[in-house]
Amino acid sequence: MSAAVALYVSKRVLIDEALVPASVYVDAAGRIVRVDPGVVAPTDPDLAYHDFTAYTLLPGLVDSHVHLNEPGRTEWEGFASGTRAAASGGVTTVVDMPLNAIPPTTTVANLHTKLGAAAGQCFVDVAFWGGVIPGNAPDLRPLVDEGVRGFKCFMINSGVDEFPAVDESDIATAMDTLAGTGAIYMFHAEMEDEHNHPAEITTAPEEYSTFLASRPDTFETKAIDTIVRTAQASANPSGLLLHVVHVSSAEVLPVLARAQSEQLRISAETCFHYLTFCAEEVPRAGTQYKCCPPIRSRANRELLWRALEDGVLSTVVSDHSPCTPELKQGDFFSAWGGVSGLGLGLSVLWTQASKRGISLAKVMQWTSANTARQAGLYGRKGVIAVGADADFVVFNEDAEFVVGQNQLVFKNKVSPYLGMKLRGVVERTILRNGVVYIRDEGVGAVPKGALILERVVA
Ligand SMILES: [Zn+2]
Ligand SMILES: [Zn+2]
């Protein structure tokens, strides 16, 4: 065990899913080397003493669904601006999605282009998802060997030409290719049917109800039925790690629960915005709320909360997917689909969870431990325990703030969270024993984030 150089103490430290008094020792490499119960006094002059007894000490969040869009659409976001936003909200690891940057992360050469763009620009640690598109099955295992944590595919038009949707046979091929690799295979689970064609809507496109009706619940249930059926027919169903990104429809929950009980290793996430907003409250032409799948009814939202408590949904992510303000204008059909909220998630979720009597420990399971598991990073990330990186959020659970332009640290300041009063303030964010954000000072000047490229464990 290497020698400790720093000691973090608080009366409320998240250890083993409970908030308890603890003292956390960290070595020069920024790793946790010892955790003792109780608050130890500052007696050892060789230890930098960090007294957070006034606050709660949590593991850094792992946001496993973020679109940083660089290179190629850097006017939409970027590694520097996006990871600064993450740092401001206690997110110490983000996993970048394969699409909306150009090129998409669908080949090793494309991944290297992205890594070149990311180098030296990241304020928190960044890992990468690859993409499955028609015809790139030979690229998948080489991408795993290069360090991508898993893959996302689309079962419906992705919105960008360079990331086409897959069909059932592409999915089957990808499942057989990825089984046993340790890389998780993820789905944007919406599938069109013969009755609904979102592109053909022409009347009242500025009404949210028109948009909602154009992407019905059945798009999600059809997609998940297809995933489950294809997985069950694959060569090695038990070797597959599957994940459904951004579940918005509660109608898929029974299908997911059944698949989970039938031994498919299929997890699913929802997003901060689906747990906060509801269709009844989206204003006319409120395109800052537009995302795909769409924000649905209030009753639907409450069923998503229940599914988190039941464990059918296990993670909550931002799906931060920005664009320029010009592209976000217009009606619900012409505007870009994507909600911006990177960095607000912990406060957003704690605001909603605390109203429902749900513990902060649960919130951290969904946003840190389980997202780290999904990306094959748990143990190093997502937990305060010996061997983990010393990534912390110093959180003031009871303080409140109103989201203004200054709280939107990402590049384009368009967000449905603007003007909302939130509970819980991030006082500090610490990445591998280095301070990367202080509430009154903002994000530090030097990017200290690393690119995570170790091969995922099979
Ligand atoms: Zn998606
Ligand atoms: Zn996304």
Q: According to the 3-state scheme, what is the secondary structure of the chain? A: CCCEEEEEEEEEEEECCEEEEEEEEEECCCEEEEEEECCCCCCCCCCEEEECCCCEEEECEEEEEECCCCCCCCCCCCHHHHHHHHHHCCEEEEEECCCCCCCCCCCHHHHHHHHHHHCCCCCCEEEECEECCCCCHHHHHHHHHHCCCEEEEECCCCCCCCCCCCCHHHHHHHHHHHCCCCCEEEEECCCCECCECHHHCCCCCCCHHHHHHHCCHHHHHHHHHHHHHHHHCCCCHHHCCEEECCCCCHHHHHHHHHHHHCCCCEEEEEECCCCCCCHHHCCCCCHHHCCCCCCCCHHHHHHHHHHHHHCCCCEEECCECCCCHHHHCCCCCCCCCCECCCCCHHHHHHHHHHHCCCCHHHHHHHHHHHHHHHCCCECCECCCCCCCECCEEEEEEEEEEECCHHHCCCCCCCCCCCCCEEEEEEEEEEECCEEEEECCCEECCCCCCCECCCCCCC
User: How many Å lie between the centroid of ligand 1 and the Cα of residue 434?
Assistant: 33
Task: Tell me which residue of 457, 448, 458 sits closest to 126, measured CA to CA.
Answer: 448
Average pLDDT over residues 375-398: 98
Q: pLDDT digits over 288-343, tens only? A: 999 999 999 999 999 999 999 999 999 999 999 999 999 999 999 999 999 999 99
For 188, the token pair is: 């944007």
209 neighbors 296 (Cβ within 8 angstroms) = no
User: How many Å lie between the centroid of ligand 2 and the Cα of residue 153?
Assistant: 10
User: Which residues does residue 31 pair with via DSSP β-bridges, in sequence order?
Assistant: 389
pLDDT of 91: 99
User: How many Å lie between the centroid of ligand 2 and the Cα of residue 65?
Assistant: 6
User: How many Å lie between the centroid of ligand 2 and the Cα of residue 319?
Assistant: 5
From the CA of 159, the nearest ligand is: 1
Q: How far apart are CA 324 and CA 320, in angstroms?
A: 13
Q: pLDDT digits over 421-430, tens only? A: 999 999 999 9
User: How many Å lie between the centroid of ligand 2 and the Cα of residue 57?
Assistant: 29
pLDDT of 334: 95
User: How many Å lie between the centroid of ligand 1 and the Cα of residue 65?
Assistant: 9
User: How many Å lie between the centroid of ligand 1 and the Cα of residue 321?
Assistant: 9
User: How many Å lie between the centroid of ligand 1 and the Cα of residue 186?
Assistant: 10
User: How many Å lie between the centroid of ligand 1 and the Cα of residue 246?
Assistant: 7
pLDDT of 2: 82
> What is the percent of the chain with per-residue pLDDT over 90, rounded to a whole number?
97
User: How many Å lie between the centroid of ligand 2 and the Cα of residue 311?
Assistant: 22
From the CA of 273, the nearest ligand is: 2
Q: How far apart are CA 4 and CA 199, in angstroms?
A: 59
From the CA of 271, the nearest ligand is: 2
User: How many Å lie between the centroid of ligand 2 and the Cα of residue 314?
Assistant: 17
pTM of the model: 0.98
Q: pLDDT digits over 409-444, tens only? A: 999 999 999 999 999 999 999 999 999 999 999 999
From the CA of 153, the nearest ligand is: 1
User: How many Å lie between the centroid of ligand 1 and the Cα of residue 245?
Assistant: 7
User: How many Å lie between the centroid of ligand 2 and the Cα of residue 322?
Assistant: 10
> What is the percent of the chain with per-residue pLDDT over 70, rounded to a whole number?
98
- Can you say how many angstroms the Cα of residue 84 is from the centroid of all Cα atoms in its chain? 15
Q: pLDDT digits over 138-192, tens only? A: 999 999 999 999 999 999 999 999 999 999 999 999 999 999 999 999 999 999 9
User: How many Å lie between the centroid of ligand 1 and the Cα of residue 189?
Assistant: 8
User: How many Å lie between the centroid of ligand 2 and the Cα of residue 188?
Assistant: 8
User: How many Å lie between the centroid of ligand 2 and the Cα of residue 168?
Assistant: 21
User: How many Å lie between the centroid of ligand 2 and the Cα of residue 132?
Assistant: 14
User: How many Å lie between the centroid of ligand 2 and the Cα of residue 186?
Assistant: 11
Domains, the chain, ranges and CATH? 61-374 (3.20.20.140)
User: How many Å lie between the centroid of ligand 2 and the Cα of residue 11?
Assistant: 37
User: How many Å lie between the centroid of ligand 2 and the Cα of residue 96?
Assistant: 9
Q: pLDDT digits over 218-258, tens only? A: 999 999 999 999 999 999 999 999 999 999 999 999 999 99
User: How many Å lie between the centroid of ligand 2 and the Cα of residue 181?
Assistant: 23
User: How many Å lie between the centroid of ligand 1 and the Cα of residue 234?
Assistant: 24
Residue 357: pLDDT band with limits 50, 70, 90: very high
User: How many Å lie between the centroid of ligand 2 and the Cα of residue 454?
Assistant: 23
Residues with CB under 5 A from ligand 2 (ion): 319
User: How many Å lie between the centroid of ligand 1 and the Cα of residue 377?
Assistant: 22
Q: pLDDT digits over 36-57, tens only? A: 999 999 989 999 999 999 999 9
